[in-house]
Chains A and B, each alone.
Chain A
Amino acid sequence: MSEASRAADSGDFSNVGRTRWWRRGFFASQTAYVAAALIAIMIVMSVLSSAFLSPGNLANVAKNFSFVGIVTLGITLVIITGGIDLSVGSTMALSAIACAIVMQKLSGTALDATPLLSMILSLLAGLGVALLVGLANGVLIAKLGLSPFVTTLGMLSVVRGLAYAVTEGRGQAPTGPDVDLFYALTDGTIAGVPVAVIDLLVLAAIIGVVLHQTAFGRHVFALGGNERAAALTGIAVDRVKIAVYVLSSLSAGFAGMLMLGWLGSAPANLATGYELTIIAAAVIGGANLTGGVGGPAGAVIGALLIEVIRNGLVLAGINAYWQIVLVGCIIILAVLVDRVRTLRMTS
């Protein structure tokens, strides 16, 4: 059926054509392009290297990308509002350290008698630290109107400094009666799938529902689309902003504690520089740094693409330093593709 007759069938829209299905929605999004690129790369790699599809390597890739992916989910919320959070890497470290130290301090006290209690308190301590960092970011940015870039850049340094000061540079290992359970919860597997991967997928699903099926999610998008319009319609702009920075920090704290379980210790330099990989993953997955666009599928796919490429370079025996160069090139390429696509759409 031709466009014209279809329009006539639908009644009153005589001169407004509808965009064809493959040029709108998910199929026209950067996320879809990157997903296609990801699949192509994975096919090429499995042909070139027999090790790529080995269970050990796949589990490794899955676990590595989960930590980054979880934080990418959180930072995607911030990026959709048009903000940025550079403090996530430092927050991962401080949360992991807080969790380990609280577990150390509680072990040997009367709390040992109650199972689970000291572990729950340590996990809450880790999340609590992240909550405070996010709250500080959010209040400074929303209430005082500071620039997100500068505020979270400052927070990156403050939080990293605290991580070194508190530990005096020594790694902190979790101990106590619940430590085996802690490792099982953070570094174990369920039906052969690493816990971190399951956490990532569950969180992605939750964030997808929140973004597209709740008023809060709609307001997050509205803030990124037109903050003044959002304020004029009576949306509590400050509260939404504070909430996204808190959620970003909490995702970082959560991923930090998963890394603590994976490494068995939280060094003060844990996750240094991760903020760049995380932002890169969000951008590659289709989140737009000018705000208004992004989603959990993009966050997961972006994080996976970076990890797969990095893994490919390792398998190919290429010097680790070149990986950093390549990640940078992928970011620029992803933005370039998006730019070309937008130009074509507007012309």
Chain B
Amino acid sequence: MSLLVLEDIGKDFGAIRALSNVDLTIQPGEVVGLMGDNGAGKSTLVKIIAGNFPPSHGRMTFEDHDVHFARPVDARAIGIEVVYQDLALADNLTAAANVFLGRELKRRIGPFAFLDHAAMNRRTGELFRELKSETRPDDLVRAMSGGQRQAVAIARTRLARAKLILMDEPTAAISVRQVAEVLDLIRRLRDAGIAVILISHRMPDVFSVCQRVVVMRRGTKVADKSIDRSSPEEVTALITGAREAA
């Protein structure tokens, strides 16, 4: 059973065709690199999968069921989570508070519901240990490194029991050591059976963690092949248009 299947997906914004006739299949636990120059249609594709807007045409199935997302919440409800480039974290809150933001654990005392800090910290600590990240649940996000912030953002998606995680340029603005940390996090997600679509401009990242690479150019998919049978040179040529297709 394929996790996500896109058939003939297209998107028009008025007269502009942002995406045309894209077919894409993601298997459970698969890590797929999505590459392409700015304006190639990567983010349009990701936004369609994440439910930010519907496609103009085409069919999308998730675990063999037809899906239509009106809002991002709909995509989240069936197990598609997005880790945004800026991570969408509240700096002034602790790691645990961010992980549980919007779905806080509560204890009822009479008619009132109070936050269950201990339970949330404990669960967040478990998630960080699973991810092998040196991050404390009760530390403020403000004081954290880029890699730790990624861990917080990814722990959020683990809490939601996501089956597919879309990661938008997770390694764009962090140090070399932190890049290695984030790539490790992605490998752990894969080992846990979670599929990841990694949007990245960084060739080394894609070639070290992904099994497959998908290249977009001018709104169409120009390549979709196993990493073993491709090379950074070939992908660069495909992105720039030096090669038409592969």
- Would A229 and B114 count as touching, CB distance under 8 A? no
Q: Is residue B176 contacting chain A, with contact meaning CB distance below 8 A?
A: no
The range of chain B's interface size is 20 to 34
| Distance of A234 Cα from B161 Cα, bound (Å) | 16
Report the minimal beta-carbon distance from A293 to chain B, rounded to whole angstroms: 6
Residue among A213, A219, A292 facing the most chain B CB atoms (10 A cut-off)? A213
Report the minimal beta-carbon distance from B49 to chain A, rounded to whole angstroms: 16
- Would A232 and B84 count as touching, CB distance under 8 A? yes
- Binary interface encoding of chain A residues 233-258 relative to chain B, with 1 for a CB under 8 A from any of its CBs, else 0: 11100000000000000000000000
By a CB distance below 8 angstroms, the chain B residues around A213 are 114-115
**With contact pairs A232-B88, A234-B73 given, residues A12 and B102 touching in the complex (Cβ less than 8 Å):** no
- Would B97 and A229 count as touching, CB distance under 8 A? no
| Distance of A149 Cα from B112 Cα, bound (Å) | 33
By a CB distance below 8 angstroms, the chain A residues around B90 are 221-222, 225-226, 229-230, 292
Residue among A219, A222, A226 facing the most chain B CB atoms (10 A cut-off)? A226
Interface stretch (choices A13-21, A57-65, A93-101, A320-328)? A13-21
Report the minimal beta-carbon distance from A54 to chain B, rounded to whole angstroms: 42
Report the minimal beta-carbon distance from B154 to chain A, rounded to whole angstroms: 14
Report the minimal beta-carbon distance from B144 to chain A, rounded to whole angstroms: 10
- Would A229 and B89 count as touching, CB distance under 8 A? yes
Report the minimal beta-carbon distance from B122 to chain A, rounded to whole angstroms: 15
| Distance of A213 Cα from B89 Cα, bound (Å) | 20
Residue among A13, A225, A293 facing the most chain B CB atoms (10 A cut-off)? A225
By a CB distance below 8 angstroms, the chain A residues around B73 are 234
Q: Is residue B72 contacting chain A, with contact meaning CB distance below 8 A?
A: yes
The range of chain A's interface size is 20 to 34
CB closest chain-A residue, reference B148: A16
Q: Is residue B172 contacting chain A, with contact meaning CB distance below 8 A?
A: no
By a CB distance below 8 angstroms, the chain A residues around B106 are 215
Q: Is residue B134 contacting chain A, with contact meaning CB distance below 8 A?
A: yes
Find residues 135-154 in chain B having any chain A CB closer than 8 Å to their own CB.
136, 143
CB closest chain-A residue, reference B143: A19
By a CB distance below 8 angstroms, the chain B residues around A232 are 72, 84, 88
CB closest chain-B residue, reference A232: B88
| Distance of A209 Cα from B115 Cα, bound (Å) | 10
| Distance of A234 Cα from B101 Cα, bound (Å) | 9
Find residues 193-241 in chain A having any chain B CB closer than 8 Å to their own CB.
209, 212-215, 218-219, 221-222, 224-226, 228-230, 232-235
| Distance of A21 Cα from B98 Cα, bound (Å) | 23
By a CB distance below 8 angstroms, the chain A residues around B102 are 219, 230, 233-235
| Distance of A293 Cα from B90 Cα, bound (Å) | 12
- Would B101 and A292 count as touching, CB distance under 8 A? no
Report the minimal beta-carbon distance from A14 to chain B, rounded to whole angstroms: 7
CB closest chain-B residue, reference A217: B115
